[in-house]
Structure 1
Amino acid sequence: MTESSEVIDELKKIVKQKGLKYTEQREVVLNVLLHAEDHLTAEEIYNLIKSENPDSNIGIATVYRALSFLEEVNLIASINFGVDGKKYESNKKEHHDHLICTSCGKIIEFVDNEIEKRQEKIAKKNKFKITSHSMQLYGICPDCQNKK
């Protein structure tokens, strides 16, 4: 069984536990994010679905509802860009943090074991048990710095 089919099975289980009807639209939206290389906006997800399945009757409002549900049940995560909306990614990737360009919106994922160790040390010092975390560092990417 592939990782994406395991996640789809997880979605089916969650929907059943909540007593909801399973919808193909949620699965389609989740599949897009499971196979995406980048963080995507709702509009980008919608456009991908329409380009891959022109006969699909999924609307942009359905995409937004599906994203909201998938985030609520922790199958996906989002990064909020304020007035520019959100970008989404699958929660099934290995843990990573983000560098976010405030000029162009580019997102660079990174992992730093020293930062992870430091967070644990700080939590231990304060008798705090970390259950999850998200780090987002905002700034200007090299491309945007070179445009000035």
Structure 2
Amino acid sequence: MSTFENLEYNSLLSNFKELLKNNSLKFTKQREVVLKTLYEKDEHFTPEDLYIFLRSTYPELNIGIATVYRTLNLLEESLMVTSISFGVAGKKFELANKPHHDHMICKNCGLIIEFQNDKIEQLQLEIAQANHFTITSHLMQLRGLCKECAKNSKH
């Protein structure tokens, strides 16, 4: 990690410790590796995928699936983590420290493509302004088929 990344992670970790304290929860290595993994991996994790990753990466920690779920829910409630809902298939989580971006989600394989487009952002502001509406946040999810799934569905 670079010096900036260390400072950023240390600040995130400090906020996490404060969050745990405010919720009368102990700071544990298991909870820390949930946060650290979300910080270090630029991925969207289901709780199950994160659990499997943590069990294989940190076998000595004896981390439970319930700890992963509870930690993710706490982080999401505190807005440190965001999620994308896949309906009955559950949620995928990512750390909320990234610059604003939107998502394209393949409805077949679940691939998530992140994108940011200044024209779309500006158009949203113009539409809101024309309707005397103040946007406080937004979430754009475009659902369809990725290149591979679209190609395979034509055969």
Q: With structure 2 as the length reference, what TM-score do the two structures score?
A: 0.89
Percent of pairs with identical residues: 48
Segment of structure 1 superposing worse, 116-125 or 12-21: 12-21
SS in 1 for 2:60: coil
Moved more, 123-132 or 107-116: 123-132
Letter paired with 1:90:
L
Q: Which residue is 1:124 aligned to?
A: 129
Match status 1:8 vs 2:13:
yes
C-alpha offsets along residues 107-138 of structure 1, whole Å, 9 cap, x if unaligned? 00000000000111111122222111110000
The aligned runs of 1:106-121 (5 Å cut-off) are 106-121=111-126
Structure 1 runs of 4+ aligned residues shifted over 4 Å read none
Alpha-carbon shift at residue 20 of structure 1 (Å): 4.0
Measured in 1, the distance between the counterparts of 2:20 and 2:130 equals: 40
Note the residue ranges of structure 1 that are not aligned, 5 or more in a row: none
1:59 matches 2:64: yes
CA distance in 1, matches of 2:7, 2:139: 27
The DSSP-based 3-state class of the residue aligned with 2:124 is helix
List gaps (5 residues or longer) in structure 2: 1-5
Task: Select between 25-34 and 93-102 the one with higher mean Cα deviation.
Answer: 25-34
Residue range with higher mean Cα deviation, 95-104 or 35-44? 35-44
What is the CA-CA distance between 1:27 and the residue it aligns to? 2.0
Conserved? CA contact 1:25–1:66, under 8 Å = no
Q: TM-score, normalised by structure 1?
A: 0.92
Query: Which SS does the other structure have where 1:143 is aligned?
Result: helix
8 Å CA contact retained: 2:105, 2:145: yes
Q: Is the 8 A contact 2:101 2:116 kept in 1?
A: yes
- Deviation of 1:143 (Å): 0.6
Higher RCO by CA contacts (8 Å cutoff, separation 6 or greater):
1
Q: Give distance in 2, aligned partners of 1:95 and 1:26.
A: 26
Secondary structure of the structure 2 residue equivalent to 1:128: coil
Q: Is the 8 A contact 2:104 2:113 kept in 1?
A: yes
Q: CA RMSD in A?
A: 1.4
Residue 52 of structure 2 corresponds to which residue in structure 1?
A: 47
1:36-84 Cα shifts (integer Å, max 9, x gaps):
1221111111111111111112101111111111100001011011111
